[in-house]
Structure 1
Amino acid sequence: MTVLDYTPPAGDIRTLVHRHAQQWPERAFLLFPETGRSLTYGALWDKTQHYGRYFAALGLTKGDTVSFMLGNGQAAAELFLATLCNGCITSPLNPAAGQEQIEYVLEHSDTRVVFVSAAYREQVACAIEKMNRAVLLIDADVDQGPDWQMQPATTAPDPQLDGSDSGLLMYTSGTTGRPKGVMLSHRNLLAGGMNTARAHELSGQDRALCVLPLCHINAQCVTVMAPLVTAGSVVMPHAFSVSMFWSWVIDQRCSWFSVVPTIISYLMHHEHPAGDAELRQALAGVRFGRSASAALPPALHAGFEEKFGVAIVETMGLTETAAQVLANPMPPKRNKYGSSGLAFGTEVRIVDRQGNTLGQDEEGELMIRGDCVMAGYYKNPQATAEALEADGWLHTGDLARQDADGFVFITGRLKELIIKGGENIAPREIDDALYAHPAVIEAGAIGIDDEHYGQEVVACVKVDPQSGVTEQELIAFCLGKLGRVKTPKNIYFLKELPKGPSGKVQRLKLVDQLKSGQVI
């Protein structure tokens, strides 16, 4: 495959892995820095057959749901891909979701088997005890894999798959009620990976660093599926480490990485032992970094590129679109700070509340159509009908505008919009202003009830403890950038802001904390 060839390489993931194993049996696909192990494409196919024989022994058949709750590593990566290749549906569990949500997801997803590491065994076992049906729990080491406690079948299944078969069942964060199960087919997953590859001009020579959790769509479709469709490779440590990040990039010869704004902020505030100049020189072979899952403040974007000499490509995706929707062009083509970029492999439009397409720079809801768009929400026809139009257009719930060059700017969420005295205020604008202050590591603006204005603007921040910055200093800083109406009335200092698995600040949880007095 060349850098210019971005036609779908296969109709389903099983066929794709098998073809790669035949064409590039000795090419490394997965590398695990803590153990020094690697998995070639040939070995990956063998692993899928190995898991398939055990799946057959368990009585699993095409369409059955398999879950896992593991940290990143060899076991999680193998389970994720082996489940897909054997015709089952993979439904990873998020340890950060909370016990109530884990119990709901296990029940709702119709999961038959859960693979779990020692760190989460008690949590999952408690959830299974409350269920009204039998679910098998299998212990698994993050590096060594499952403790099967049984003999495998003599042959692995040979499911007949096509692009319409379900492959991944991912649950949304559920910040506004019960989480919804997003159904992604093999076609959706391959399209999501291919859209990422097209946007970032990936080839088989590229190597990605995956530090985001495999229980999230970003890691699954961006830093696993995109290299898979292009026959590239992935370095997968157990978890993000600010002190090890650059060592992994350099020592493993990674050409790109995918992160979230929170990680970018942490890297900016961490002093590397080698010093900035020597580190910049060592990073000369890195093509780019990719930022997604939350808006990247322009000041943080520019500061990172200046400090490390690595271009950051801002992007935007959703679980419902297999991660990839928008991306800025690759350097040296023009990027626009503050924009999520252009559509790659999808159609986008901005609409008003009546569904009419809006003009240049008019703000409305972002809608998306393409092969990456989900099949629907599992066992939830009402939510599916509300999200998906009959002609395939998906309602994202994101407020956006599109400029004359086709660049899309996400301005907020319809449900997060702050309405103060009749004026609509996007929280992101306030976040961006706060991130421009050198002491701010994390920021999240929210609206709280106010008897005079309907809502008032406040913000929560995590700051560098050595800075000594005060609330009044940050308010004055915002006043100069935002004006009086948008400047937060109060700014609360937290040790950590609540975030989802992708690193996105969860504003509704901030509101709950404020109401309960936890941030004061």
Structure 2
Amino acid sequence: MPLDTTTTAGDRVISPVARRIRDRAAAQPDAVCLRWEFDGEPVELTYRRTWVGVEAAAEGLRGRGIGPLNKVAVLSPNDPRVVVATIAVLTVGAAWLPVNSRESVDTIAGLLEQFGCDLLVVHPDLRAVATEIAARVPGLGGVVELDQLSSVPADRPAARAGDEADRELAAIFPTGGTTGRPKGVAFTHERLAAIVDAYAQVQAVPGDVYLAAAPLTHVGGRICLSVVASGGAVVILPSFDETAVLAAIDRHRVTTLTVTPTMLYRLLDAPHRDSYDTSSLRALVYGGAPTALSRIREALAVFGPVLEGGYGQTESPMFITRFRADEHLVDGAAAPDVRLRSVGRPTAVSEVRIVDPEGDDLPAGEPGRILVRGAFTMAGYYRDPAATASRTEADGFRSTGDIGFLDADGFLTLVGRETDLIITGGFNVYPAEVETVVAAQPGVRECAVFGLPDQTWGEAVVAVVSAEEGAVVDPGALRRAVRPLLGGVKTPKRIEVVDELPRNDNGKILKRVLVEERQA
């Protein structure tokens, strides 16, 4: 799907995603598009006003020489202006690079240099940070604050030079860096539009009100674009705070919300949780990491039959599988553990295979490499052909890098990462299997399992756990409790209790940090 140059503004480029949003604004100009709060009072923009803001920001980008061959980084905490700026970047056919404002200056500068950004759009509160970043990235063409984006410089520069190979590039999403230096996950305009269209087909419901509390630099940003393109409203919070989230659900009659397991636990543990009306929710979507089965059951009891799970990754966002709300229940009660451990079934826009190392399909119940095919998957890793080739399989499938199995009903259960496999005493141990059993024990809040070098076993299975508030976890007693369930090979040789497990800003546990700390 090439860029469309036939717009009402004349012979100008507009990306497929921006075109969908423009058409939505024309179809429902007076519907609410964006909501937020300022000084405790609700503020909203209709679709008409949102698109006016997009066009003004797009003109400001063009006035700075930005077009289809360029890359624009957006550095900001959650803010409605970020949504407008992002759509504007896509409107002019440029590529969008969302940057987490919580990262260090060194990390951000490294990303901008690594991916060759032409312009940095920054939140006004990060002005000093942006100045420092610009000094470290000589190739950066300029910095503009969100409030100034719609202004057109008096001395309009010529179009910025770029690589013709980037003409179809729509976005670069940095990987989480949980295993080392981030890679740039590249999406063309066609594939970014496929994400938006997949959301409309799989998740969207007319009248949806989506609460954006997770960082817009991650999957929340892609969901916002999809919700707006589908005609829903987006309520934006500056960050995740459990009380603020519950209040926003109550006040704005939020229908859908995405959370990591940690966010779900915080909602469940929030003081005065029951004083808020959350009955408007139709989909409380959790994912991004394993979720304790006890907390899933608790959430079903607290919020009702609205929990949805799923499986996606930066390379294949959101739609590999979906665990529908009704599938969490069997005869009106929480489904059996074996079902709740799953991440659901392939969606209408995805194909999933489980294969052995030779690429042959495996029968139901047997773990293997998870492959996915769909229009919503990445184009590849930006300017990294070797990494792209490592994920490319025959017939258009992509390797997810994960291990899992499909049951007889088509439900997918994740077992672990290919690179996380522990070989102990000649036996294969998948961390996720051990984590599920350990995390289910009384008093255990969360668990991370990995292998460490061992003279006797080659690798020893090690578990690091955090305790629930007020609980005391004894490592020896915990080992004895899980041994009958796991057997001698899979039972951790060592269990450590810590206050908190290290995480990135997307809520994923940083096992790399745990391993490095114990090998230092």
Q: Normalized against structure 1, the TM-score is what?
A: 0.87
Q: Name whichever of 441-450 and 116-125 sits farther off.
A: 116-125
Q: Which residue of structure 1 lines up, in the alignment, with residue 503 of structure 2?
A: 499
Among 350, 355, 362, the residue aligned to 1:358: 362
Alpha-carbon distance in structure 1 between the residues aligned to 2:145 and 2:426 = 55
Which digits, 9 at most, give the CA deviation of each residue in 1:346-387, with x for residues without a partner? 111111111112121121111111110111111112221221
Cα–Cα, structure 1 residues 268 and 93, in superposed 2: closer, same or farther, change >3 Å?
same
Q: Which residue of structure 2 lines up, in the alignment, with residue 248 of structure 1?
A: 248
Is 1:182 equivalent to 2:185 in the alignment? yes
Alpha-carbon distance in structure 2 between the residues aligned to 1:481 and 1:266 = 29
2:307/2:325 contact within 8 Å kept: no
Is 1:191 equivalent to 2:210 in the alignment? no
Write out aligned runs for 1:480-519 (5 A): 480-516=484-520
Cα–Cα, structure 1 residues 104 and 308, in superposed 2: closer, same or farther, change >3 Å?
same
Deviation at 1:74, TM superposition (A): 1.4
Deviation at 1:254, TM superposition (A): 0.6
2:227/2:234 contact within 8 Å kept: yes
Which digits, 9 at most, give the CA deviation of each residue in 1:131-169, with x for residues without a partner? 3424312234xxxx3477764799xx9xxxxxx932111
Which digits, 9 at most, give the CA deviation of each residue in 1:484-513, with x for residues without a partner? 432323333333322223211121121112
Q: Name whichever of 41-50 and 467-476 sits farther off.
A: 467-476
> Counterpart of 2:207 in structure 1: which amino acid?
Q
Match of 1:205, SS?
coil
Alpha-carbon distance in structure 2 between the residues aligned to 1:246 and 1:173 = 28
Which digits, 9 at most, give the CA deviation of each residue in 1:113-147, with x for residues without a partner? 1122355444444343233424312234xxxx347
Alpha-carbon distance in structure 2 between the residues aligned to 1:302 and 1:56 = 51
Cα–Cα, structure 1 residues 477 and 89, in superposed 2: closer, same or farther, change >3 Å?
same
Match of 2:51, SS?
helix
Q: Name whichever of 11-20 and 311-320 sits farther off.
A: 11-20
Deviation at 1:63, TM superposition (A): 2.7
Cα–Cα, structure 1 residues 479 and 194, in superposed 2: closer, same or farther, change >3 Å?
farther
Q: Which residue of structure 2 lines up, in the alignment, with residue 102 of structure 1?
A: 108
2:452/2:459 contact within 8 Å kept: yes
Write out aligned runs for 1:120-519 (5 A): 120-140=126-146, 145-146=147-148, 151=153, 165-200=168-203, 202-216=204-218, 218-221=219-222, 223-270=223-270, 272-273=271-272, 275=274, 279=276, 282-331=277-326, 336-344=339-347, 345-389=349-393, 391-516=395-520
2:59/2:150 contact within 8 Å kept: no
Match of 2:435, SS?
helix
Q: Normalized against structure 2, the TM-score is what?
A: 0.87
Alpha-carbon distance in structure 2 between the residues aligned to 1:401 and 1:421 = 24
Deviation at 1:319, TM superposition (A): 1.2
Alpha-carbon distance in structure 1 between the residues aligned to 2:208 and 2:480 = 45
Q: Name whichever of 435-444 and 116-125 sits farther off.
A: 116-125
Cα–Cα, structure 1 residues 37 and 430, in superposed 2: closer, same or farther, change >3 Å?
same
Structure 2 residue ranges without an equivalent (≥5): 1-13, 160-166, 330-334
2:116/2:140 contact within 8 Å kept: no
Q: Name whichever of 464-473 and 72-81 sits farther off.
A: 464-473
Alpha-carbon distance in structure 2 between the residues aligned to 1:177 and 1:445 = 18
Structure 1 residue ranges without an equivalent (≥5): 1-9, 158-163
1:265/1:442 contact within 8 Å kept: no
Q: Name whichever of 421-430 and 57-66 sits farther off.
A: 421-430
Alpha-carbon distance in structure 2 between the residues aligned to 1:84 and 1:362 = 43
Q: Which residue of structure 2 lines up, in the alignment, with residue 23 of structure 1?
A: 27
Write out aligned runs for 1:52-71 (5 A): 52-71=58-77
2:305/2:326 contact within 8 Å kept: no
Alpha-carbon distance in structure 2 between the residues aligned to 1:447 and 1:383 = 24
> Counterpart of 2:91 in structure 1: which amino acid?
C
Alpha-carbon distance in structure 1 between the residues aligned to 2:215 and 2:92 = 23
Alpha-carbon distance in structure 2 between the residues aligned to 1:194 and 1:149 = 32
1:48/1:78 contact within 8 Å kept: yes
Deviation at 1:294, TM superposition (A): 1.7
Aligned-residue identity in percent:
26
> Counterpart of 2:217 in structure 1: which amino acid?
C
Alpha-carbon distance in structure 2 between the residues aligned to 1:374 and 1:153 = 38
Q: Which residue of structure 2 lines up, in the alignment, with residue 160 of structure 1?
A: none
> Counterpart of 2:250 in structure 1: which amino acid?
I
Alpha-carbon distance in structure 2 between the residues aligned to 1:466 and 1:39 = 45
Match of 2:369, SS?
strand
Which digits, 9 at most, give the CA deviation of each residue in 1:453-473, with x for residues without a partner? 111122222323422333334
1:297/1:431 contact within 8 Å kept: no
Match of 1:325, SS?
strand
Deviation at 1:481, TM superposition (A): 3.8
Deviation at 1:196, TM superposition (A): 3.4
Cα–Cα, structure 1 residues 289 and 152, in superposed 2: closer, same or farther, change >3 Å?
farther
Alpha-carbon distance in structure 2 between the residues aligned to 1:119 and 1:419 = 49
Cα–Cα, structure 1 residues 413 and 189, in superposed 2: closer, same or farther, change >3 Å?
same
Q: Which residue of structure 2 lines up, in the alignment, with residue 48 of structure 1?
A: 54
Quote the RMSD (CA, aligned, Å).
2.6
Deviation at 1:406, TM superposition (A): 1.3
Deviation at 1:480, TM superposition (A): 4.9
2:292/2:446 contact within 8 Å kept: no
> Counterpart of 2:392 in structure 1: which amino acid?
L
